[in-house]
């Protein structure tokens, strides 16, 4: 017999899909987190979800071994569970179903995340790594230039279509997380790399970046290049450029944001260009200003003593 809470979780997931337009991945994740909770709590009625129950659930999450290495769930992962549960409780409140107030669930405090980005010399080597004028090399060079020029997420760039990108205006609009639209701008080097690649294309695929492997079937070739394929090519060129640290497409997104902040851009503009819903997400990049703070310290600190020496 299907329990009431299981029916409500299903209704909530359908609400996210239809009313909120959330991505299939987000819905899968919420499904996993909420089913884990209902299984742990033995399918409770919404009215019996209490702070004491949540406290015990958090203890269980905090002590749960996540893999063979014996490590427990990261605080970030624990918070994903709580965010899903909080969203579900908000849905119940909107449906006038008595349950715990979602505002009572606080997230676990997390350590500040350190963002990996490329230094200027590393970036130059990576962007120069694709050598040649064959179609695949031209495509790869355009992908690397676009990732750094636009700060696009790998999922966003893999879904781009040719008609979206306006090379006359050097800008276009992309639909990011949560279906939100944002403006994206193309640098002159990215524009030239794109033009060279598109000029050599002879296929009819609407996607901006596709697979050109002759061994692939026609259907596989006409679809957009997958995020995993883009990740592999970034890793391959990073290795050929002699970059020893782990590089992903997201590293180029971090480098994009870093470059803007180091160039003097304000954090609100960077938030808009990255498509972050909250400024809190963008503030992970404020460590970039440390270099600027060091320069300020060296220039202005202890000036009286320096002038007497």
pLDDT of residue 297: 62
Identify which of 62-76, 142-156, 200-214 has the greatest average pLDDT: 142-156
| CATH code of the domain made up of 120-293 | 1.10.443.10
Three-state secondary-structure class, residue 63: helix
Which of 177, 201, 212, 221 is the catalytic position? 177
- pLDDT value at 219 more than 50: no
DSSP state of 209: S
- Tokens read off for 181: 């639209």
**From CA 282, how far away is CA 262, in angstroms rounded?**
14
**pLDDT (average), residues 220-246:** 89
Q: Is 285 a catalytic residue?
A: yes
User: What pLDDT, in 10s, does the model give residues 43-52?
Assistant: 999 999 999 9
**pLDDT (average), residues 192-206:** 94
CATH 1.10.150.130, applies to 4-104: yes
Which of 139, 141, 253, 254 is the catalytic position? 253
Which of 81, 86, 254, 276 is the catalytic position? 276
- pLDDT value at 281 more than 90: no
Which of 35, 58, 90, 250 is the catalytic position? 250
Nearest to 242 by CA among 162, 128, 78: 128
Query: Of residues 23 and 33, which shows the higher confidence score?
Result: 33
User: What pLDDT, in 10s, does the model give residues 140-194?
Assistant: 999 999 999 999 999 999 999 999 998 889 989 988 887 788 999 999 999 999 9
Ranges in the chain annotated CATH 1.10.443.10 = 120-293
Q: Is 58 a catalytic residue?
A: no
Which of 81, 153, 191, 254 is the catalytic position? 153
pLDDT of residue 126: 96
**From CA 285, how far away is CA 250, in angstroms rounded?**
13
Q: Is 153 a catalytic residue?
A: yes
Q: Is 91 a catalytic residue?
A: no
User: What pLDDT, in 10s, does the model give residues 70-116?
Assistant: 788 888 899 999 999 999 999 999 999 999 999 999 988 766 666 78
pLDDT of residue 152: 94
Q: Count of alpha carbons within 13 Å of 108, Cβ hemisphere only?
A: 19
Q: Average pLDDT over the chain, rounded to whole?
A: 87
**pLDDT (average), residues 10-36:** 93
- pLDDT value at 261 more than 80: yes
Where do runs of H (alpha helix) occur along the chain? Answer: 4-18, 24-40, 51-63, 75-94, 120-127, 135-150, 154-158, 188-200, 218-222, 227-240, 249-262, 267-274, 279-282, 289-300, 303-308
Query: Of residues 222 and 28, which shows the higher confidence score?
Result: 28
Ranges in the chain annotated CATH 1.10.150.130 = 4-104
**pLDDT (average), residues 56-68:** 88
Look up the pTM and report it. Answer: 0.71
Q: Residue 38 — pLDDT band, cuts 50, 70, 90?
A: very high
pLDDT of residue 220: 46
Three-state secondary-structure class, residue 182: strand
């Amino acid at each position: 017999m299907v329990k009431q809470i299981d029916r409500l979780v299903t209704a909530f997931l359908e609400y996210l899909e239809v009313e909120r337009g959330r991505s299939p991945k987000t819905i899968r994740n919420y499904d996993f987190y909420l089913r884990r909770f209902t299984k742990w709590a033995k399918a409770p009625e919404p009215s019996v979800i209490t702070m004491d129950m949540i406290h015990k659930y958090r203890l269980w999450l905090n002590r749960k071994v996540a893999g063979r290495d014996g490590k427990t769930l990261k605080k970030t992962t624990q918070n994903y569970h709580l965010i899903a549960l909080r969203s579900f409780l908000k849905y119940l409140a909107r449906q006038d179903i008595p349950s715990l107030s979602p505002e009572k669930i606080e997230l676990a405090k997390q350590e500040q995340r350190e963002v990996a980005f490329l230094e200027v010399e590393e970036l130059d080597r990576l962007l120069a790594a694709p050598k040649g004028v064959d179609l695949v090399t031209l495509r790869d060079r355009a992908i690397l230039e676009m990732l750094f020029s636009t700060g696009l997420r790998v999922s966003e760039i893999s879904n781009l279509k040719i008609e979206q990108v306006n090379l006359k205006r050097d800008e276009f609009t992309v639909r990011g997380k949560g279906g939100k639209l944002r403006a994206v701008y193309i640098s002159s080097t990215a524009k030239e790399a794109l033009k060279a690649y598109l000029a050599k294309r002879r296929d009819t695929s609407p996607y901006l970046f596709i697979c050109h492997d002759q061994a692939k079937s026609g259907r596989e070739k006409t679809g957009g290049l997958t995020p995993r394929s883009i990740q592999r090519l970034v890793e391959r060129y990073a290795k050929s450029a002699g970059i020893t640290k782990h590089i992903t497409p997201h590293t180029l997104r971090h480098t994009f944001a870093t470059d803007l902040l180091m160039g003097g851009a304000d954090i609100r503009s960077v938030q808009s260009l990255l498509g972050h819903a909250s400024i809190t997400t963008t503030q992970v990049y404020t460590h970039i200003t440390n270099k600027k703070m060091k320069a300020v310290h060296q220039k202005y600190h202890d000036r009286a003593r320096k002038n007497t020496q």
